[in-house]
Structure 1
Amino acid sequence: MTALVYAATLLVAFATACAYAADIGYLAPPGVAANEFPSPQRPVARIVSSRRSAEERRDALDEAGQIARVLELKPGMTVGDIGAGSGYHTVRLSYLVGPAGSVVAQDVTRDYLIELARRTELLKLPNVQFALGEPHDPRLPASSLDAAILVHMYHEIAQPYAFLYNLAPALKQGARVGIVDLELPTSKHGTPIELLRCELTAVGYREVATHKLAGDGGYLAVFSPPEVAGRKSPRDIVACRDPAGTR
């Protein structure tokens, strides 16, 4: 009997996972292909986990609150959690934007999004959408986001120039992009701030401000997206050189 119950439990879990997977896909047609852009002239860190560190520790440092205040996130907004992983920020953003707002949890790893869908269902968070992306393209609808956050994942983007270029159309006029990372080489799961500035500027983003986060949270760099009329051609983007010591 125990074996039958165990088997039934596995079948239910499998069916549930399949149901979540069926609902998770691309939210927009493909953007510009990766091979249209220059390759990054620095290492790309591999994705090692959906979770950066214990959520309790991040809460103690008020990581989500610091980001929300700097980006002036408010109820009713639509915010993209790019590279959502286990959903630390997705969950907190869901409460912040409220029922009139929404959170788009985006990731390139479908299994992470399936687990996050389970989590948000248990927490009864109906204002969360899920968006599967590609390493060079977040695949998000045009003019859909009031803000986007990329937290401790920028160094894992395999084609940053293409990714940033394809992200830009999803941002509304006046939107802000907040990037959190550590002042470490990309090979050690950080991004030196000067390299970050160079890569975003190369695609046409403009730096608004940079803030140091509490504890060991690194920095929060805020950018505005390129103006539609002034967007560069992908072929005109010049890759940033890897500064000494980032390897």
Structure 2
Amino acid sequence: MTETSADTAGQLREDVRAYYRAKAAEAESGGACCSPDPDTFGPAAYSGIGPDSAPGSALLASLGCGNPSAVAELREGETVLDLGSGGGLDVILSARRVGPDGLVFGLDFLEEMLALAGRNIADAEMDNIVLLKGTIEAIPLPAGTVDVIISNCVINLSLDKPAVFAEMARVLASGGRIGISDVVAEDRLSAAQRAERGGHSQCIAGALSVCEYKELLSAVGLKDSEVVFTQEAADGLHTAVIRARKPVQNEAAAPGECTPGGSCC
């Protein structure tokens, strides 16, 4: 990495921290903090979620672009990891889905978001959630710890996406799966064209393309990847559902399947 690119990366990280600190403060003051488009991001993605499922303050604090706890089809007794748990809505919904015999880890890099999530979890009276401070590029959990990884419009914010995918594969148990909501670009858009359509902190400039997503998943050995657009977020960019799974030990690749390190597109 050149000195210029290092400076740029450092500035982007600080921009993301400042942006989401401000969003946490908005939520603390009782305001909704969805961004950048309230018709696409935030509470709009959770139709049918009522106060019996999660506190209203957790719903209003949502900054995501989908409902990954539903995307991942969580089952009772599973262990779940939410990458970028924010105000806690997805960990609360996940904890209800996996039940008292399940466990949910919520990982976030901001003290302010963790504090907000802690209060929402206490209001929801959930005791099968553990909040962790850390980054999605260096997940503070042992290998093979979780059955399911969810994330809601967070992976696009990372400046080291290969590290994120490697960490996901590391902490997933054999046969584990991912169910992610994220902003994804059409393959026709270059990185520069994505940046023209929105900022990094607003989940646009850092979005991967469909092909890039599948290749990064394949590179760490995750199989059966799919990227399904759900709603337009900007010209050539969409909110999307991303699924994949970690193969069980000694599982052979299916004929024609994208192999680790190979091209998926």
TM-score interval (norm. to shorter): 0.5 to 0.7
- Cα distance, 1:58 vs structure 2: 2.1
Matched, 1:200 2:221: no
Matched, 1:107 2:94: no
- Cα distance, 1:211 vs structure 2: 3.0
Which residue number corresponds to residue 94 of structure 1?
A: 95
- Cα distance, 1:142 vs structure 2: 2.5
Once the two structures are superposed, residues 38-79 of structure 1 have per-residue CA deviations (whole angstroms, 9 ceiling, x without a partner) of: x9xxx8785232664565422228743xx4454331121111
- Give me the whole-angstrom Cα distance separating, in 2, the residues matched to 1:215 and 1:77: 32
The answer to whether the Cα contact below 8 Å between 1:144 and 1:172 also exists between their aligned partners in 2 is: yes
Matched, 1:59 2:46: yes
The answer to whether the Cα contact below 8 Å between 1:61 and 1:214 also exists between their aligned partners in 2 is: no
- Give me the whole-angstrom Cα distance separating, in 1, the residues matched to 2:75 and 2:92: 15
Identity %: 21
Which residue number corresponds to residue 61 of structure 2?
A: none
Name the structure, 1 or 2, with higher relative contact order (CA <8 Å, separation 6+): 1
TM-score relative to the length of structure 2: 0.61
- Cα distance, 1:170 vs structure 2: 1.4
Q: CA RMSD in A?
A: 3.5
The answer to whether the Cα contact below 8 Å between 1:61 and 1:215 also exists between their aligned partners in 2 is: no
The answer to whether the Cα contact below 8 Å between 1:140 and 1:167 also exists between their aligned partners in 2 is: no
Once the two structures are superposed, residues 14-56 of structure 1 have per-residue CA deviations (whole angstroms, 9 ceiling, x without a partner) of: xxxxxxxxxxxxxxxxxxxxx9xxx9xxx87852326645654
Matched, 1:76 2:77: yes
Bigger mean CA offset, 43-52 vs 157-166: 43-52
The answer to whether the Cα contact below 8 Å between 2:84 and 2:109 also exists between their aligned partners in 1 is: yes
Q: 1:113 to 1:142 in 2, by over 3 A?
A: same
- Cα distance, 1:228 vs structure 2: 7.3
2:241 to 209, 220, 239: 220
Aligned length: 193
Q: How does 1:25-44 map to 2 (within 5 A)?
A: none
The answer to whether the Cα contact below 8 Å between 1:168 and 1:226 also exists between their aligned partners in 2 is: no
- Cα distance, 1:169 vs structure 2: 2.4
Q: Which amino acid aligns with 2:79?
A: T
Gaps of 5+ in 2: 24-32, 50-65, 186-193, 252-259
Q: Which amino acid aligns with 1:110?
A: E
Q: Which amino acid aligns with 1:58?
A: A
Q: 1:75 to 1:172 in 2, by over 3 A?
A: same
Matched, 1:167 2:162: no
The answer to whether the Cα contact below 8 Å between 2:214 and 2:226 also exists between their aligned partners in 1 is: no
**Bigger Rg over Cα:** 1
- Give me the whole-angstrom Cα distance separating, in 2, the residues matched to 1:228 and 1:170: 15
Q: 1:138 to 1:228 in 2, by over 3 A?
A: farther
